[in-house]
Structure 1
Amino acid sequence: MPLYKSISVNSQTTVKIWKVEESYKDLLEPLDLKPQSLERVLGMKSEIHQRGFLSVRHLLRAFGYTDQDLFYDANGKPHLKDGKHISITHSFTFSGVIVSDKEVGIDIEMQRDKIGVIAEKFVEYEFYYLDKNAEDYIRKLIVIWAIKESLYKLFTTPGMLFKEHFLVIPFMIGDGETVAWIDYKNKKYRYNTAFLEFEGFTCAYVVP
């Protein structure tokens, strides 16, 4: 069972990351899936998506939950039946789940240079401190994207835009943490964020 990493963020919040190494069959066998979850996984065209979906259910088990404890609202945001807050991510060979007493968000991204091509679509304020010629420019862009994706998952409000409504305060890659803001409809919300890199991937998560 490749539970890759477990991070105790604070007394109410834990992150668990899974490295997806098992076959689809080995992941499916020990799980007790709801009929709609089984239908969903069988309908996926890509095995990497199937394995990602199933690895998230293994992470739920690592937290002491089952697939039956998880449900989604009309906006597609996941919830737990016991009232704790949850956020879920998977990217290729890694999956992540964060569970907390407070609203949270998590994202994992594969590190790819092509993010530089779409930077203008999700970066505005951050261009004031980013150096396009710096060695770590792409890595910083991926951190910013992952933080903003985490914020969006936490808030899940249609109409929010990464470029206009989310701000990531200046950081160094070595910091492993920064602060982010949501500025939306004349209200401002502050979040603590953390990020880490491993095996060509970046993970970020946010908590109020």
Structure 2
Amino acid sequence: MPIIQEQPISPQVSICIWKIDETEEALLAFLELNETEFADFDRVKVASKRLEWLAARNALKQLLNPFGQFWLEKDQFGKPHLTDPCIGVSMSHANGFGAAAINHQGPIGIDIEIERPQIQRISRKFLNENETWAGTDTSKLTQVWGGKEALYKLHGRTQLIFADQLVIEEPSLKHITSGQIIEQNKTETFSLYFDYQSPLHICCAF
């Protein structure tokens, strides 16, 4: 079971990162998907993405094992929820890894990213004027992007403009910062956890 990280990041929030070295059949065997979940999985046609989908789901299962069997359903916006809504859940995957996070006291979003030089070219499309701390540094820009993806997943309701409605504060040495979701006349602030486990940038919003 290739879990490279499983840890609580607050009394209510835990994350799990899964590195894929199994076959699709082996990853499926760890799960007990119901008919709806299997239909969702079967819509994924690219082999590498199928493995990542399963890895993220197995990471979530690892976190939820102490609480018994679970099943997921999606709301009208496509955000996954447990059939028992007491625990907030989120998943992500990238380049041979899957990730999951749970929150016992509210919504949550997780994102994992691998650094790419192209992010410097597209940064003007997602940077807010208050995020000058990122400059042109690829690592910091990846943190901003990952933080905004995590906030977007936490929000999970309507479309958000990354440059205007999502703002990431500079992470501290303790890996915790904050992020804002701005909608009309309302601004909500959430905690953001950042970590780097080569080659992954990990961000969790809660």
* In 1: Cα distance, 2:130 partner to 2:175 partner: 17
Alignment of 1:1-208 (within 5 A): 1-62=1-62, 63-64=64-65, 69-83=71-85, 84-101=87-104, 102-132=106-136, 137-171=137-171, 174-207=173-206
2:22 aligned counterpart, secondary structure: coil
Query: Retained in 2: the 8 A contact 1:33–1:67?
Result: no
* Structure 1 position 125, deviation (Å): 1.9
Answer whether contact 2:17 2:98 (CA < 8 A) is retained.
Answer: yes
Aligned length: 202
Distance 1:197 1:76, change over 3 A: same
Q: What TM-score, normalized to structure 2?
A: 0.90
Query: CA offset at residue 120 of structure 1?
Result: 0.7
Q: CA deviation at 1:194?
A: 1.0
1:179 CA drift (Å): 1.4
Contact 2:135 2:141 in 1 (8 A): no
In 2: Cα distance, 1:76 partner to 1:66 partner: 24
User: Match of 2:134, SS?
Assistant: coil
* Contact 1:32–1:66, Cα closer than 8 Å, also in 2: no
Cα 1:66–1:60 shift into 2, 3 Å: farther
1:121 and 1:143 mapped to 2: Cα distance?
Answer: 15
Deviations 1:47-94 (A, max 9, x none): 111111111232232122678521110101111122211111111211
Partner SS, residue 125 of structure 1:
coil
Structure 2 unmatched runs, 5+: none
Once the two structures are aligned, what percentage of the paired residues are identical?
A: 25
- C-alpha RMSD of matched pairs (Å): 1.9
**d(CA) in 1 for partners of 2:42 and 2:83?**
24
SS in 1 for 2:9: strand
SS of the aligned residue for 1:144 comes to: helix
- The alpha carbon displacement at 1:148 in A equals 0.5
Residue 45 of structure 2 aligns to a residue in which SS? coil
SS in 2 for 1:10: coil
Q: Deviations over 1:18-61 (max 9, x none)?
A: 11111112112232222233233333221111111111232232
* Structure 1: segments with no counterpart, 5+ residues: none
Q: Is the 8 A contact 1:34 1:67 kept in 2?
A: no
